[in-house]
Structure 1
Amino acid sequence: MKRHAALLLALLVFFAQTGIARAQQSSESRPGAATETLIRNATVLTVSHGTLRNTDILIRNGKIAAIGQNLRASPSARIIDATDKYVMPGIIDCHSHSMIDAVNEGTLSVTSMVRIRDVLNPTDVDLYRELAGGVTTLNVLHGSANAIGGQNMVVKIKYGRPIEEFIFPGAPPGIKFALGENPKRSNFPALPGQPRRYPATRMGVEETIRDAFTRARNYKAEWDEYRARLARGEKNLIPPRRDLQLEPLVEILEGKRLVHAHCYRADEILMLIRLADEFGFKVRTFQHVLEGYKVASEIARHGAGASTFADFWGYKIEAYDGIPYNAAIMVRHGVNVSVNSDSDERARRLNIEAAKMMKYGGLTEDEALKLITLNPAWQLGIDDRVGSIDVGKDADLAIWNGHPLSVYSRVEMTLIDGEVFFDRQQDLARRAELERERAQLEQAEPNRPPAQGPAPAVPRPRRTAYEYADDIWDGGDYDQ
């Protein structure tokens, strides 16, 4: 009992200290404590209008108030010396599965009624690691088990804050579609005695989406007629029965919800373009889109964006024709292109994924930076708020100790709405304290095993590329 009491006391002390530290950090960084921040003497990578040397950025009430040299701030302003450092817009990941406690509602082929918003976990430590890589905004998507999946959520990574503060205000709602092997469940045979879930072919995937939009169009017509009759003053009308599966699809038809479609092959990309034209809506982004280079002109003509990998392919049959020049070829054909993570690990180094496109395809420095800033901002409908360093935009910024397209550079500080959410120096300073807290908790653990020496190293067999890809499919990245 004494050891249990000691453990409880240690836990209470730990959480009290953590809560005080977070409260202090929160009060120090909120706009009420410092309404102005002045970043001085930086190399500013604006993305929208080139690179500015020895330049200041004045932040006021979470917005970029001024950009120029020798700017002045109020006496109470926070001053950040960025001499010999680089400032770029916060990185935007247009395809993320971070901070979710569930990813696929795979029981039906059309699950447009489910919402990622309902399963967001603001304590996911991957969020902090992404902040340490300069990432500030995520497009958190449903998985790809369904021809029409769940509703997405665009968030700002305000780690340590309540979930309500994560939601990106005013971001257009979106939804996840999926084409190809995943929705037809190529690698998921039915259980013994159970029928295989429809669809099982690419033809079936197309029919599933067409059937859903046919029903949505009829549903919209019923509600339009009902509202028209109300407007004419008719009485005692019975409204149509609400259908939560069809309402998000009606929003697509009305241009109020963005479509983000998982895809790989050129034929399925063209199929969805034709189907969208048939029902009168636009695909906002093709996700993964590894064969986009084959149909880049058609994607550009449709007006869709493409969010792809830099050089990740060959992990399953439909990804075999991926090439590292994909992003650059689509850019040259006029497609709005971003590179995304689809991985909590890759999300920490999207700057390097963008830099690869200078090697594979010869993109300029600004074009490469756009792949992870302004382009994904457009794809998510938030480019009026973030994605470049311009007066009036949100102060979502990453400060680097070197050029962000260099493998030798690291993030020194990440700000969102002018508040510091990652500070490398504070991180380093707190590590000893965290080690002491861990040791204290371990000592108080009643069932703690006796101390032993390090376990002998066990040689690990080398895996083939196929085995590695199979592991990813079974238990790692959910959306490939």
Structure 2
Amino acid sequence: MPVFCTKYQAELTLTDGSKEKVEFKMDGDLPVLKFTVKGSQYNLKGWTKQEKGMTVLNGTGTLNFGEDQPWTARMKEKGRGTLGAQKIQDKGPVDLGEVFYPFLAFGSPEKIASRSILITDVTVWTNEDEGILMDTDVLLENGKIAKIGTDLSAKDALVLDGTGKHLTPGIIDEHSHIALGGINEMAPNSGMVRMQDVIDPDDPGIYRALAGGVVAAQLLHGSSDPIGGQSALVKFKWGEDAKGLLIQGADPFIKFALGENVKRSKNNVSIRFPRSLMGVEQFYTNAFTEALDYKKEWDAYRSLGTKEKRTAVEPRKNILHETMLEILEKKRFITAHSYQDKEMLMLMEVAERFGFALNTFTHALEGYRIADRMKEHGVGGSTFSDRWNYKWEARNGTPYNAPIMDREGVVTALNSDSGETMRHLNHEAAKMVRYGGLTPEEALKMVTLNPARLLHLDDTMGSIKVGKSADVVLWTGDPLSLYSKPEKTIIEGAIYFDLAKDAQLRRENSKERARLLKKMEGLEGTENVSTRISLERLEFHCESLEMQY
């Protein structure tokens, strides 16, 4: 539909009687005025309104493209100031550029699709009984690992020469907060909120994670609340929408939290319950007891006959209690933010009292102290490699924590809790060879197979085995080496990161930026406008209370 603007002949009379020409047009109902007075350029934009039958123009403009200038103009006489009005039709369609998926830098003009890929003569870290296979071929077809062997061939497959390179399962981050609009609801029991509702699929952190060989993650609620929100398990399919990132059919998880954050230890004026370890234990007990009472109400109502239901009051649906019931019925699984052994022991006792087992202690910096008890309970540990002493409750950490838990029989993973650390989780795993003497294969499992086990994804992810999802990374060298890089990160047979393509995209991004700046050069009022830098995205950690949007 054509866009019309109306241009007017106008002039400005100054207080000394002198006059200046004014560019004056109505862009629809919006007035636009430009004029120069004593060397200062005014650019005024605004809107129109009627006051007591008089047309009034007002708005905000700029002086010399910098200082804001509020302004108002009132019509003094009707019939004046509208000479020579003419309607000018817009020049028509303009070049808008391509659409990208996602619609920002490092996007693709088409959605990335799965294809047949044959990787030849590569060193394969299987994470299976076969161990590391040398000079092996791997065929990826229909999003699955189709064949593993030697001298393989496949019609119409993309052939990648793996000579001197290494192929591993994709890295999985058990604890992440990237690609979310906010992470802390702040209600003591926030079990009704869902992280999948605030996923931002356009977060550049996804592309950066892919560049580090990460294919999947658990996106967690923060740790402000004893009971946090429901997790989202995602694969980093760059260019898909939020729903397209979710791992379909994955078991549902929820975040619990222990320690300083939930007790508001750093906030002396907070009176929110709970405020102590005693209160935290009672809070969990109350939540599960209330959920069981809620179930009794519904069971009693459902047991009524048709005639009795006509006069009975149906219980009110409560999604918070229903979430707690899912835990009690072993349909939803707990990832518990934790640091100190005494708090982890308490939560295990609460769980056992109500007849279920915890799934994971995440952080778990004092897990090495109670690893035997964790194994007995059946809970896993997801921790940092060598990060501790950043607050009081983290003072007793040790880089030997993960190896000790692992050797005690606890399923142990390393996580990031950081968009930056996520990019080199392979290096975090390599530290376990130094601290605790794990073999390189055992160390790699801590960021691949073990997090898959903790997230109940190991039937389809975490190892290179025929029939599993084709979520793999082709490295330029040994995956635990500081000098190796992911050459290709592949999810379900689709190449979501390619080192060579990345270099090409950087050049194309520069060209696209230049194209946009060139188009801006011809726009009225932009000649002397200084460049504005977009605000940097927030990076969330467990304690972050801010919101991205």
TM-score band by shorter chain is 0.7 to 0.9
Q: Which residue of the partner structure matches residue 502 of structure 2?
A: 427
| CA distance in structure 2 between the partners assigned to 1:85 and 1:342 by the alignment | 29
Matches within 5 A, 1:394-433: 394-433=469-508
Alpha-carbon displacement from aligned partner over 1:350-398 (angstroms, at most 9, x marks no partner)? 0010110111001111211110111111111111010000111100001
Cα offsets for 1:262-281 (capped at 9, x unmatched): 01001001000100000111
Larger radius of gyration: 2
Larger strand share, 1 or 2: 2
Unaligned runs of 5+ in 2: 1-31, 35-42, 46-89, 532-537, 545-549
1:317 shift after superposition:
0.2
State which of 204, 212, 216 in structure 1 corresponds to 2:279.
204
Equivalent residue for 2:124, pick from 44, 50, 55: 44
1:144-186: CA deviation from partner (whole Å, max 9, x where unpaired): 0000010001000001112221010111001000001001111
Superposition deviation, residue 223 in structure 1: 2.8
In the alignment, structure 1 residue 180 sits paired with structure 2 residue 255:
no
Equivalent position to 1:88, from 154, 168, 178: 168
Counting helix residues as a fraction of each chain, which structure ranks higher? 1
Question: Alignment partner of 2:262: what SS?
Answer: coil
TM-score, normalising length: structure 2 = 0.76
CA RMSD, Structure 1 to Structure 2 (Å): 2.8
* Pair 1:152 & 2:231 matched: yes
For 1:243 and 1:132, the matched residues in 2 are separated by 42
Task: Note if contact 2:221-2:542 (Cα within 8 Å) is conserved in structure 1.
Answer: no
Identity of aligned residues (%): 46
Q: SS at 1:150's partner residue?
A: strand
Counterpart Cα distance in 2 of 1:233 and 1:52: 69
Work out whether residues 305 and 337 of structure 1, in 8 Å CA contact, stay in contact via their aligned partners in 2.
yes
2:197 maps to which residue?
Answer: 118
Q: Residue in 2 aligned with 1:63?
A: 144
1:288 touches 1:309 (CA, 8 Å); kept in 2? yes
- Once the two structures are superposed, the pairs formed by residues 54-453 of structure 1 within 5 Å of their partners are 54-74=135-155, 76-106=156-186, 108-190=187-269, 196-229=271-304, 236=310, 238-443=313-518, 444=520, 447=526
Cα distance, 1:14 vs structure 2:
5.7
Partner of 1:471: none
Per-residue CA shift, 1:83-112, capped at 9, x if unaligned? 111000010000000100011001x21110
Judging changes above 3 Å, is the alpha-carbon distance between structure 1 residues 18 and 98 closer, same or farther for their aligned structure 2 residues?
closer
2:487 and 2:164 map into 1 onto residues whose CA distance is 12
In structure 2, the CA distance between the partners of 1:234 and 1:55, relative to structure 1 (3 Å rule), is farther
Residues 189, 225 of structure 2: 8 Å contact kept: yes
TM-score, normalising length from structure 1? 0.87
Rounded Cα–Cα distance in structure 1 between residues aligned with 2:541 and 2:422: 12
Q: Report the alpha carbon displacement of residue 189 of structure 1 after superposing the two structures with TM.
A: 4.0
**Aligned partners of 1:448 and 1:209: how far apart in 2?**
61
Contact 1:94 1:307 survives alignment (8 Å) = yes
SS at match of 2:502: helix
1: CA distance, partners of 2:100 / 2:211: 25
Distance of 2:180 and 2:309 partners within structure 1: 46
Q: Do the aligned residues in 2 keep the contact of 1:14 with 1:437 (CA within 8 Å)? A: no
2:97 corresponds to:
13
Cα 1:475–1:156 change in 2 (3 A) is: closer
Say if 2:218 and 2:233, in contact at 8 Å, map to a contact too: yes
Query: Residues 14 and 241 from structure 1, CA distance in 2 versus in 1: closer, same or farther, beyond 3 angstroms?
Result: same
User: Which secondary structure does the structure 1 equivalent of 2:319 belong to?
Assistant: coil
Cα deviation 1:294-343 (Å, max 9, x = unaligned): 10100111000000000011110000000000000101111000000000
| Matched residue SS, 1:72 | coil
**Shift of residue 24 of structure 1?**
4.9
What 5-or-longer segments of structure 1 have no aligned partner?
453-473
SS at match of 1:183: helix
Q: Deviations over 1:165-219 (max 9, x none)?
A: 10101110010000010011112344xxxx6211111211111111101111222
* 1:207 partner SS: helix
Q: Deviations over 1:18-52 (max 9, x none)?
A: 879966542xx424xx3x22111110001123001
2: distance between equivalents of 1:165 and 1:18?
12
The separation in 1 between residues aligned to 2:225 and 2:189, in whole angstroms, is: 6
CA 19–155 in structure 1, closer or farther in 2 if over 3 Å, else same:
closer
Preserved CA contact (<8 Å) 1:342 1:479: no
Count of residues paired in the alignment? 445
Q: Secondary structure at the match of 2:140?
A: strand
**AA of the residue aligned to 2:420:** E
Report the Cα distance in structure 2 between the residues aligned to 1:308 and 1:448, rounded to whole angstroms. Answer: 53
Report if the CA contact (8 A) 1:112-1:151 is conserved. yes
Alpha-carbon distance change, 174 to 210 in structure 1, aligned in 2, over 3 angstroms: same
Q: What is the letter of the counterpart of residue 231 of structure 2?
A: N
SS at match of 2:280: helix
Paired residues of 2:171 and 2:216 also in contact (CA < 8 A): yes
One-letter code aligned to 1:64: I
* SS in structure 1 of the partner of residue 138 of structure 2: strand
Distance of aligned partners of 1:370 and 1:234 in 2 relative to their CA distance in 1, 3 Å threshold = farther
